Structure 1
Amino acid sequence: MKFKTRLRVTFISIILLPLLLTIMAFVMIAIYLMNYSQGFSLTDIDYSMMSENFREFTNTTDQAYYVLLDQVKEDSSRLEDKEYLDHINEEVSRKSTYIIVRKGDKMYYAGNKDAAQKIFEKLPAYGEENLSDDSGYFYNELEKYVKQIDFTFRDGTPGSVFIVTKVNSLISRHLLIDMFVAIIVILIFTSLMLTQWIHKGVFEPINELNVAMRKIKEGNFDYVLETDAKGEIGDLYRNYEDMRLRLKESTEENTQHEKQNKELVSNISHDLKTPITAIKGYVEGIMDGVADTPEKMDKYIKTIYNKAIDMDRLINELTTYSGIDNNRIPYNFHRINVADYFGDCVEEVGLDLEQRGIKLNYSNLVSPDTVVIADPEQMKKVINNIISNSVKYMDKPNGHIDIRILDEVDAIRVEIEDNGKGIAQKDLQKIFERFYRTDASRNSAQGGSGIGLSIVKKIIEDHGGYVWATAKEGEGTCMHFVLRKYIELQPGGTK
């Protein structure tokens, strides 16, 4: 339930609930007070009397008055019959009226003895003039309306019959006190009920959310909050769940990233240690005079040079990886001729491959004027990284690498294929991931930081192309990447 709806329900409840309970309390207390004052049972009460006015009360008295007056005129001796008097009293008692019969100065009959005792001494004397007609008499201090009929008993004793009606207001002092207490109880009950409702609907969910946030603070991202609630509380719970899942994912990514960084440092350290050790050994050999012939000296110098190139390549990989990680690889795009550019690249890498005893085959099947938009330096890293991988995993004595440039209408496709150890099919989709290595147990002969192909993928995708690999285990691997051609529009809008 929304907070706005909950506030509306609370506002309406604060008004209506106490009002309804107060009306119920008023009715019950009024009935109780009338029973207490008159001595009537609940079954003897006509609840309509609570809303009757003074005229209705006097009408009740008049009805009983005329019945008794007719009886006096017809046969006054019947008023000596207490069974008859009980019958008349029972009829009028439902309207808070009762009968008193006086014989001489003694009370002969009373329909309500307790109430009659209070007014008996104040009743008018036999034959008093102001009550000799049809008018009644109102005792203000007792709040009683009285009518009198005089008659004579059979033994000659003067008698009077009085019809007494209680006309006091139901709102008495006792009623006010009881109503005040009842209203206090009603307000306390309403407050407790609404407080409990708000506590269960608002404070309990907030407390649960507070516990969940403490769990997040402690690094526990597995504390789940589930709810079917609608409104703001439900939105809070669902937002917490979204936040928890994102924080958990981010934490796991950071942990993985930290692990990868440690692995990178370990890999780079290992790969740097190998050429540094070799350089150190060959330099010591030159200093100790071991290279005592021009041929040995030339061999030592070339080895030192190659190891320095390996170190430079590793440092470049680390620099490029840092750029990938921060998405800040610097690009200088130019229009480059495909035939000229790849021809120069093949000539450059061919010398190194020749020294390693690996044959390089190159074929260009695109038009001589084919142009692409690319960064020459970054594309050179792509070619070097792929060829470096081919050399690293070459396991055959007569190794060869084929570079092919193919025409794809609106694009060119570059294929670099070797006859090395190949890659298992299960690994093909993962080789472009950072730090993924097909040889889980690295060795100094192969080494590698594990980021070369991830750099290739990043650079090719930043050029608007895509890269993939095909391979057969034991036979070799072929790397493919595609770059879109640059097609200049003619003045007429044609290509």
Structure 2
Amino acid sequence: MKLKSRLLTAFLIITALPIFLITLAAGTIVRFQVNSIEETYDVKSDTIKLISNPLQILSRLTRGVYNEIVITSKQEPEKFEDETYINYLNSELTGKYSYIVLRKGNQFIYSGNNENLDYIKRYLPKYGKYTTDMEGGMYIDTKNPFLLKQKDFHFTDGSEGSIFVITDVDTLVPQIRSSAIQMVCSLIFVVILTAGVLIIWIYRSILRPLNTLHAATDAMKEGNLDYSIEGDPEDEIGQLCVDFEEMRIRLKELIEVRLKYEEDTKELISNISHDLKTPITAIKGYAEGIMDGVADTKEKQAKYIKTIYTKANDMSVLVDELSFYSKIDCNTMPYTFTNINLHEYFSDCIEELTLDLEVKNIEVVYKNETDAALKVSADAEQLKRVINNIIGNSVKYIGNKKGLIKIQIEDIGQSVKISIADNGQGIPSKDLPFIFDRFYRADSSRNSTKGGSGLGLAIAKKIIQDHMGTIWAESEEGKGTTIYFTLKKCKEVTEYE
């Protein structure tokens, strides 16, 4: 999920989730408390009326007692002169925030709450001025507001009497107060829950990937390039993790290549040292032979000098080969590409090679199946180096038997394929995949007969790759090896008149 989408989701969670949860909690609390009110006070009404009009509830709380007062005033008014009966009525109002007040004439002869009576007695209606029905009540708005139910009657001595049912409005029924507390608690819970959900979501989707990325960075800083991480490419942070992982893999590969290069360099130095040791030893030996007078004839001296020259020339070839590879390996070798006629070019090469290889008892067979006018784009000098390196490598492993090198050229569409096959000892299958690696030599014994620096085929591969071609090998032990490589044809230019 994109970061923009995450922010939008977070906004929706912050707004929608609390509204939904608060609505759900409020509905549940109100329904529960309304049921409790109906069961406790035996009142029946719709939910909104019970919550929005608590005076109605307070009025209904005293309905039973007031009904009894009305009946008593009509049938047995003398009971109101019995304090025990008045106490009984007052006790029925206990827990309903109500009490009884009895007035005879202008004197209050009974009060269920003497403390409140001092505040409200001046607000109580005179005899005959106000009488409520059985369901009604009168709200008196004072410093201490109350709900009043009044019933007038006559005492047995004929004096005027009024009995009041006073309900304290300042205190709501417990269920309404409990509902308010539960609402506040629910609101706090919803806020905490929403914050918790957001924190967990943000931690899982943002902070945890960042912590993982931080741990990976620390591991990389300590040199541990094997610390792998995963990320979801669908969001920015996940993409950052994916990019970091790609960077880690690339960096690890570069370091491995660097280490391999250093290892190969050490091997090269060892190989060059070994290969130089033989001609240097020979040069020293023959030079000492001349100085000590061992070469006491002109023929011997000429032989010694020729040997010294040959060995020095071998050393020069090794140094030149190393210098050349360092150039192409660093991509500093300039190429001069020209359109070369393949038939003419290979005819000249084969003629030159045949003269050199006949001396070594090696026959050259050449076959070109392409059009005589076909041209390829190549650097003539470097292409010749490729051919010489491949054939030179073949010559080393043919041995003393009658040698055979076959060179064949085929047209394969957009390219031409050149194959150079020999009848040498072949390459073991375990070594075949590595023969184009720099410094690699299948002949681990490094005997003086084979020699070489292990750079010939690596140089050939690099040159062919720089020519936008491919190179590969096939071999069978005891039967020989074939090296293949391809070259791109020149693009034909058609002139339109």
Q: Report percent identity of matched pairs.
A: 41
Instruction: Report the more deviating stretch, 247-256 or 48-57.
Output: 48-57
Asked if the contact 1:225/1:237 (under 8 Å) is kept, the reply is yes
Q: Does 1:51 align with 2:52?
A: yes
Deviation at 1:302, TM superposition (A): 3.5
Instruction: Work out which of the residue numbers 206, 218, 225 in structure 1 matches 2:210.
Output: 206
Q: Distance in 2 between matches of 1:102 and 1:325?
A: 120
Map 1:382-397; keep pairs closer than 5 Å: 382-396=386-400
**Structure 1 gap segments, 5+ residues each:** none
| CA distance 1:73–1:21, shift in 2 (3 Å) | same
Asked if the contact 1:215/1:223 (under 8 Å) is kept, the reply is yes
AA matched with 2:252: K
Alignment partner, residue 285 of structure 1 = 289
Alignment partner, residue 438 of structure 1 = 442
Asked if the contact 1:401/1:419 (under 8 Å) is kept, the reply is yes
Q: Does 1:332 align with 2:359?
A: no
Alignment partner, residue 448 of structure 1 = 452
Q: Distance in 1 between matches of 2:372 and 2:181?
A: 110
Asked if the contact 1:21/1:186 (under 8 Å) is kept, the reply is no
Q: Distance in 2 between matches of 1:351 and 1:309?
A: 20
Asked if the contact 1:22/1:186 (under 8 Å) is kept, the reply is no
Deviation at 1:335, TM superposition (A): 3.6
Alignment partner, residue 118 of structure 1 = 115
Deviation at 1:453, TM superposition (A): 1.0
Alignment partner, residue 464 of structure 2 = 460
Q: Does 1:275 align with 2:279?
A: yes
Asked if the contact 1:14/1:190 (under 8 Å) is kept, the reply is no
| CA distance 1:205–1:99, shift in 2 (3 Å) | farther
Map 1:137-152; keep pairs closer than 5 Å: 138=140, 140-152=142-154
Map 1:45-444; keep pairs closer than 5 Å: 48-52=49-53, 68-69=69-70, 71-77=72-78, 79=80, 98-101=99-102, 105-107=108-110, 113=112, 116-122=113-119, 124=121, 129=126, 132-134=129-131, 138=140, 140-154=142-156, 159-168=161-170, 189=192, 193=196, 196-197=199-200, 200-201=203-204, 202-226=206-230, 231-338=235-342, 340-346=344-350, 348-349=352-353, 353=357, 357-361=360-364, 363=366, 365=368, 371-396=375-400, 398-406=401-409, 408=411, 414-444=418-448
Deviation at 1:140, TM superposition (A): 0.6
| CA distance 1:233–1:292, shift in 2 (3 Å) | same
Instruction: Report the more deviating stretch, 49-58 or 141-150.
Output: 49-58
| CA distance 1:298–1:336, shift in 2 (3 Å) | farther
Deviation at 1:59, TM superposition (A): 9.5
AA matched with 1:463: H
Q: Distance in 1 between matches of 2:42 and 2:208?
A: 49
Instruction: Report the more deviating stretch, 266-275 or 77-86.
Output: 77-86
Q: What SS class does the counterpart of residue 331 from structure 1 fall into? A: coil
- Superposed CA offset, 1:276-296 (max 9, x none): 333333334344444444443
Q: Distance in 2 between matches of 1:218 and 1:272?
A: 41
Q: Distance in 1 between matches of 2:191 and 2:76?
A: 62
| CA distance 1:11–1:211, shift in 2 (3 Å) | same
| CA distance 1:302–1:460, shift in 2 (3 Å) | farther
Q: What SS class does the counterpart of residue 271 from structure 2 fall into? A: helix
Asked if the contact 2:338/2:380 (under 8 Å) is kept, the reply is yes
Q: Give me the TM-score of the superposition, normalised by structure 1.
A: 0.73
Asked if the contact 1:44/1:94 (under 8 Å) is kept, the reply is no
AA matched with 1:51: S
| CA distance 1:298–1:474, shift in 2 (3 Å) | farther
Q: Distance in 1 between matches of 2:402 and 2:188?
A: 99
Q: Distance in 1 between matches of 2:126 and 2:409?
A: 140
Deviation at 1:260, TM superposition (A): 2.1
- Superposed CA offset, 1:204-227 (max 9, x none): 442232112111211212223357
Q: What SS class does the counterpart of residue 228 from structure 2 fall into? A: coil
In angstroms, what is the RMSD of aligned CA positions? Answer: 5.1
Q: Distance in 1 between matches of 2:311 and 2:354?
A: 17
Q: Give me the TM-score of the superposition, normalised by structure 2.
A: 0.73
Asked if the contact 1:17/1:190 (under 8 Å) is kept, the reply is no
Deviation at 1:143, TM superposition (A): 0.9
Alignment partner, residue 472 of structure 1 = 476
Q: What SS class does the counterpart of residue 442 from structure 1 fall into? A: coil
| CA distance 1:492–1:155, shift in 2 (3 Å) | closer
Q: Distance in 2 between matches of 1:478 and 1:393?
A: 12
Q: Distance in 1 between matches of 2:452 and 2:146?
A: 115
